[in-house]
Amino acid sequence: MALYETESYDAIVVGAGHAGCEAGLAAARLGKRTLVLTISMESVAMMPCNPSVGGTGKGQLVKEIDALGGEMGINIDKTFIQSRMLNTAKGPAVHSPRAQADKQRYHEEMKHTLEKQENLHLRQGEVVDILFETGGFRADGKRVAGVVLKSGAVYRGKTVILALGTYLDGRIHVSDASWPSGPSGLSPSLILAEKLREKGFALRKFKTGTPARILAHTLDYSKLKEQKGDDEIIPFSFMNDDIGGNKRSCWLTRTNEKSHAIVAENIEKTAPYGGYTTGVGPRYCLSVEDKVSRFPERKSHQIFLEPEGISTEEVYVQGMSTSLPEDIQVAFYRSIEGLERAEFSRYAYSIEYDCIDPLSLRCSLEHREVENLFFAGQINGSSGYEEAAAQGLIAGINAARKIDGKAAFVPDRSEAYIGVLIDDLVTKGTEEPYRIMTSRAEFRLILRQDNADLRLTEKGFELGLASRERYERYLKNKRDTETEIARLRQTFVSADEAARFLEHIDDARGECGKIHGKISLADLLKRPEVTYELLRAADKDRPEVTPYARRQAEIQIKYAGYADKQNRRIESFKKLENKRIPDDIDYSSLNGIRPEAAQKLSEARPQSVGRASRISGVSPADINVLLVHLERMKAGGMRNEGT
């Protein structure tokens, strides 16, 4: 194959999945000449697994991507067919939006957005190699110079972002059968995997899976439970107010003992239990065979049937991914109530793919050793569209900033779920496909989905990514909220009125807090039973308030005490986060740090004590030693110490 030179770009994004799309759009929107390469134009922003965006933790990520000026929120608002706010029975910190997408339209809209984007070229082509030149972080180090396509075309790039998804050395498994493949039958990226290995990247096998798709008209709806979308739909994007209503419902059913028996009898025929795969799968998204073998005491598992779009009969059978042989899959699915006559359009499979160890990345998502080479998405060991998109956005932003010689943009754990995601990946690493969860965010009372714009849009605007229109909407929302909070704090009702109001709304705890004199509407709103909506009865002269300001004022007033507590925790977190570790620190000379910890720290070279404390294998005692050391260095007391 003869190589030939073609064009030069500021940023070359390899892959146009959820990470690649955000990376390309971000770099282009920051004024960089950007090329996005995809194996197939048909797979841009493809959803090879579930037809939905959002969920616990994931919904927060999408809102953050949107607040910074990313595309995912806007795209799902354009193409959703059902929307729900999950966890509404619980506190606002875990309220998580989720929308069912029209898969085909999601792909088309995103592809169209990329095509129209100024500075961005979306092109079909398979990358088979990346080019290095000498230099970079060390004189004898490496710097990325461009990519080579299967055709021999060479594209030069100042930065390269690898967003390879599950294509890298991808292999599909169905029982004992397996073949090289990308997701959903697309061609895998085999040569590049080989070249990356040759170049010394340590690759490892992860595994994921997807359930079968069955046809909607073959379901027995009389046996299924309907799950409708919300009446009031809150858009993912802060740019949208009204995005229309739900177009489809989801349906619920359950597995039963008979279906579990089918799986148990045939478990040796599945890829992992039969010993046909060794890849590490996600603990948080178990295959049917794992569910049955790990939780034998559970007699039934819930199933969501999710329509894949408006112009298709295909239905996604959530939670039922498997690598059982296809005939057994049919028997198993048909043992489930409502699915007795289900016809299959696609069978379930599991897929193994190569990914890198994210510990080899900086928090900007640039590689530690190879300058200007960024990694984003599933290649970094994460799972999920939203996790991928968040990394893509950060990689795209930081590639652009690297070219401009600007400091990397990395939100920390107290600022965004995106910060939690990236810090977890590059500081702690992961031994299985990483999924974001609300429990991973220690400051989740502050990192809510409703306030993502308040947390991040200002930053997005400073970066140059959030548009002026977005910035002004944010300013207005913020102002409206503040005005409404101030009004509620300054509007008082008499004790009598308050008592009548509480009686009216049947406040069972009315007696426990006797009111003397007068009480502000804000204080009334703090009572557990009182909602902003109910408060209207006592709020005679309530002005017109936008839905945004209404929701935000309610949350901020009701949970002010907890927000204060969490903010105090954030303060102490920031103290360690801001305690810098000098770049030239020699961990091996630090008396008292265990050799294992010294080695981990030398490899990871954390920039702050906070980050150092999260590296696995580094104990609190090691951190205390490090603190003492830094303390003494600061005091100039390091006589004869170190080498």
**Minimum CB distance to another protein smaller for 131 or for 627:** 627
Measured distance CA(495)–CA(593) in Å, rounded: 63
Q: How far is the CB of 206 from another protein (least distance, A)?
A: 21
Measured distance CA(473)–CA(454) in Å, rounded: 11
Q: Is 395 in the site for another protein (CB under 8 A)?
A: no
Which two structure tokens, joined as six digits, stand for 191?
């040569």
Size of the site for another protein (CB under 8 A): 45
Give the C-alpha distances (Å, rounded to integers) separating 599 from 365, 412, 580, 603.
Answer: 22, 25, 19, 6
Q: Which helix (H) or strand (E) holds 64?
A: helix 58-68
Considering only residues 445, 465, 502, 570, which one is a binding residue for another protein as defined by CB under 8 A?
Answer: 445
Which two structure tokens, joined as six digits, stand for 125?
């082509």
List CB contacts of 154: < 8 A, sequence separation 6 or more: 3, 4, 5, 6, 131, 146, 147, 148
Determine contact, residues 390/156, Cβ cutoff 8 Å.
no
Q: Is 505 in the site for another protein (CB under 8 A)?
A: no
Q: Is 613 in the site for another protein (CB under 8 A)?
A: yes
**Minimum CB distance to another protein smaller for 179 or for 295:** 295
Q: Is 255 in the site for another protein (CB under 8 A)?
A: no
Interface stretch with another protein, choices 33-41, 89-97, 176-184, 401-409 (CB under 8 A): 89-97
Q: How far is the CB of 56 from another protein (least distance, A)?
A: 5
CB atoms within 10 A of CB 204: 13
Measured distance CA(290)–CA(432) in Å, rounded: 15
Measured distance CA(350)–CA(186) in Å, rounded: 14
Could you please report the per-residue DSSP string of 378-431?
GGGTB-SHHHHHHHHHHHHHHHHHHHTTPPP----TTT-HHHHHHHIIIII--S
**Minimum CB distance to another protein smaller for 405 or for 636:** 636
**Minimum CB distance to another protein smaller for 328 or for 627:** 627
Strand partners, 426: none
Amino acid identity of residue 528, one-letter, is P
Considering only residues 407, 572, 595, 636, which one is a binding residue for another protein as defined by CB under 8 A?
Answer: 572
**Minimum CB distance to another protein smaller for 108 or for 442:** 442
First-to-last C-alpha distance (Å) of the chain: 53
**Minimum CB distance to another protein smaller for 197 or for 509:** 509
**Minimum CB distance to another protein smaller for 19 or for 416:** 416
Place of tokens 């740090």: 593
List CB contacts of 601: < 8 A, sequence separation 6 or more: 587, 593, 612, 615, 618, 622, 626
Considering only residues 199, 575, 580, 634, which one is a binding residue for another protein as defined by CB under 8 A?
Answer: 575
Considering only residues 408, 515, 627, 633, which one is a binding residue for another protein as defined by CB under 8 A?
Answer: 627
Considering only residues 579, 587, 604, 606, which one is a binding residue for another protein as defined by CB under 8 A?
Answer: 579
**Minimum CB distance to another protein smaller for 271 or for 593:** 593
Q: Is 175 left (phi over 0), alpha (psi -120 to 50) or beta?
A: left
Strand partners, 9: 157
**Minimum CB distance to another protein smaller for 516 or for 639:** 639
Amino acid identity of residue 479, one-letter, is R
Q: Is 531 in the site for another protein (CB under 8 A)?
A: no
**Minimum CB distance to another protein smaller for 44 or for 234:** 234
Q: How far is the CB of 586 from another protein (least distance, A)?
A: 13
Determine contact, residues 324/348, Cβ cutoff 8 Å.
yes
Q: How far is the CB of 575 from another protein (least distance, A)?
A: 5
Which two structure tokens, joined as six digits, stand for 201?
């990247």
CB atoms within 10 A of CB 346: 14
Determine contact, residues 607/581, Cβ cutoff 8 Å.
yes
Q: How far is the CB of 550 from another protein (least distance, A)?
A: 20
Q: How far is the CB of 537 from another protein (least distance, A)?
A: 22
Spell out, one character per residue from 410 to 439, where the chain touches another protein: x when CB under 8 A holds, - when not.
---------------------------xxx
Q: How far is the CB of 632 from another protein (least distance, A)?
A: 9
Q: Is 444 in the site for another protein (CB under 8 A)?
A: yes
Q: What angle do CA 34, 35, 41 make, to 5 degrees?
A: 140
Considering only residues 26, 61, 94, 521, which one is a binding residue for another protein as defined by CB under 8 A?
Answer: 94
**Minimum CB distance to another protein smaller for 476 or for 632:** 632
Q: Is 52 in the site for another protein (CB under 8 A)?
A: no
Helices and strands in the chain, H and E counts: 20, 23
Q: Is 90 in the site for another protein (CB under 8 A)?
A: yes
Q: Is 633 in the site for another protein (CB under 8 A)?
A: no
Determine contact, residues 169/188, Cβ cutoff 8 Å.
yes
Measured distance CA(528)–CA(508) in Å, rounded: 10
Q: Is 628 in the site for another protein (CB under 8 A)?
A: yes
Q: How far is the CB of 125 from another protein (least distance, A)?
A: 40
Considering only residues 167, 206, 304, 385, which one is a binding residue for another protein as defined by CB under 8 A?
Answer: 304
Interface of this chain with another protein, residues 542 to 561, rule: CB under 8 A: 559
Give the C-alpha distances (Å, rounded to integers) separating 456 from 411, 420, 610.
Answer: 9, 14, 22
Q: Is 592 in the site for another protein (CB under 8 A)?
A: yes
Q: Is 508 in the site for another protein (CB under 8 A)?
A: no
**Minimum CB distance to another protein smaller for 439 or for 494:** 439
Q: Is 383 in the site for another protein (CB under 8 A)?
A: no
Q: By three-state DSSP, how is residue 16 classified?
A: coil
Query: Interface residues with another protein (CB under 8 A)?
Result: 56-57, 86-87, 90-94, 96, 298, 302, 304, 437-439, 442, 444-445, 528, 559, 562, 565-566, 569, 572, 575-576, 579, 591-592, 594, 609, 613, 620-621, 623-625, 627-628, 631, 639-641
